[in-house]
Chains A and B, each alone.
Chain A
């Protein structure tokens, strides 16, 4: 941990009801990290994300993002939810959605020329500028997810938080998505919730393992034993060879997945 940590969590416990979802969590994330938050369903991954965003408050302990409370640092964070949670019949264009990332200044919330330029720039970054006038609902799943990334980027975030961006999209699109994230990583810190261990191995620099408790590993350390520790003892290992074929099998130990 250092003074310029992007994220600094100290002894945080959080419970929705009686049973804590997260218990005694300590975590620090350094600038330009690409951290993957992994763990089984219901382990508290999304809860951790929501705590960082300040959408919920910890019962005990302290959370600092850029050395301030999450609420104060909100405008430095870009949040990307799962597109599947949104109403797909909502009548908005792609540009309208991206512009939402510029809200928050002024009472009325009218958009300036600057806002529109920023929105166009981030649509260009995710390679969807030619879809700006199209309806959000007409896009494919992968494209919608990219629109949400563009929306987060318009706010010029220093920390990008993604909630399972690769669920509900196919493998080819997933590859495009993390190539893009890898590029973004050169100018911002990225934290990504994922239950996809394959995704973890390829671009991720560190792995935050969540299952009520939180343990951090550098990617190189991840092996079968650690995976077993995170997901519990009664899991089976299945090799996903389609992930390993591209770069041969030299990262064999990274290719084990609990799924």
Chain B
């Protein structure tokens, strides 16, 4: 514990400070959006979106290195592909009444495959594991601004549309009958999910980002009585996961992404099992 505090104040550990700051800030978006993803039961869609992000990253690298548009950072590609995937997946799940899961599964894998093909075509060597599993060394000071911006957007929208979003997540059909354009809010929710996913790709990577989105909310859901309580609790739980994961990974020289996810997964399973035992008694 003291070791990690010392490390945080070590002038040589700029990357660790950045990881803690970005991790803490992104926990706000993660807790709030994660709560919606869990209660609206769209974690499968969120998983597909996060894997499509890899397609955008691959395409951006290709544009940057092969075509030579230097300013086109992989992050831009990630944002574009995430929002595009959110829109397509949202429309598919709204209008393709049958085989929705098949279509989503196809997008999931195809997005990923497109990314890999683009990387094949791009000259030079890229360590794709940092995108797949996260690498806190990739976090830049610029990310703080991006995460802050997303936090503000997410919090403002959530506070303003709280009642409507709650009604849509609870009973979409009834919300529609109250004149709410639930399709639009649904797509909005998916787009926010997409942006949230992109920002945390650096910390935990594409493959595991979905776990950090849903597990804190799932833990919070075991205790919360109201939706906003679940959100606040999910933010706190997410911060605890990220801090403990980053700390342990630093001390034991492990990869930070998997460490965070193993902690999140264990806590969730323990809480879920505990809740079951408690209810049975």
A residues sitting closer than 8 Å to B (CB atoms) are 16, 53, 55, 74-75, 77, 79, 81, 86-87, 89-93, 96-97, 99-101, 103-104, 108-111, 135, 151, 155
Q: Which of A55, A92, A104, A151 has the most CB of B within 10 A?
A: A92
Q: Which of B161, B171, B221, B226 has the most CB of A within 10 A?
A: B171
Within B146-185, the residues touching A (CB, 8 Å) are 160-164, 166-167, 169-171, 173-180
Residues of chain A lying within 8 A (CB to CB) of residue B163 = 99-100, 103, 108-111
| Chain A nearest CB, measured from B210 CB (Å) | 19
- Complex CA distance for A135 and B176, rounded to whole angstroms: 23
Cβ of B230 within 8 Å of any chain A Cβ, yes or no, is yes
Count residues of B near A (Cβ-Cβ below 8 Å).
28
A96 touches B166 (CB 8 A): yes
| Chain B nearest CB, measured from A92 CB (Å) | 6
B225 touches A93 (CB 8 A): yes
Q: With A75-B179, A91-B227, A100-B167 in contact, do A81 and B39 touch (Cβ < 8 Å)?
A: no
Which secondary structure dominates where chain B touches chain A? Answer: helix
A81 touches B226 (CB 8 A): no
A109 touches B176 (CB 8 A): no
| Chain B nearest CB, measured from A114 CB (Å) | 15
A89 touches B221 (CB 8 A): yes
The residue in chain A whose Cβ has the minimal distance to the Cβ of B41 is: A87
Q: With A110-B163, A135-B225 in contact, do A90 and B176 touch (Cβ < 8 Å)?
A: no
- Complex CA distance for A104 and B176, rounded to whole angstroms: 9
The 9 closest A-B pairs by CB, nearest first: A104-B178, A104-B179, A109-B163, A109-B164, A103-B178, A100-B167, A91-B224, A91-B230, A108-B160
B174 touches A81 (CB 8 A): yes
B173 touches A55 (CB 8 A): yes
Residues of chain B lying within 8 A (CB to CB) of residue A53 = 177
A103 touches B41 (CB 8 A): no
The residue in chain A whose Cβ has the minimal distance to the Cβ of B170 is: A90
Residues of chain B lying within 8 A (CB to CB) of residue A110 = 163
- Complex CA distance for A137 and B76, rounded to whole angstroms: 43
Cβ of B140 within 8 Å of any chain A Cβ, yes or no, is no
- Complex CA distance for A106 and B277, rounded to whole angstroms: 45
Residues of chain B lying within 8 A (CB to CB) of residue A87 = 39, 41, 170
B177 touches A100 (CB 8 A): no
- Cβ proximity bits B13-46 to A, threshold 8 Å, 1 near / 0 not: 0000000000000000000000000010100000
- Cβ proximity bits B219-231 to A, threshold 8 Å, 1 near / 0 not: 0010011110110
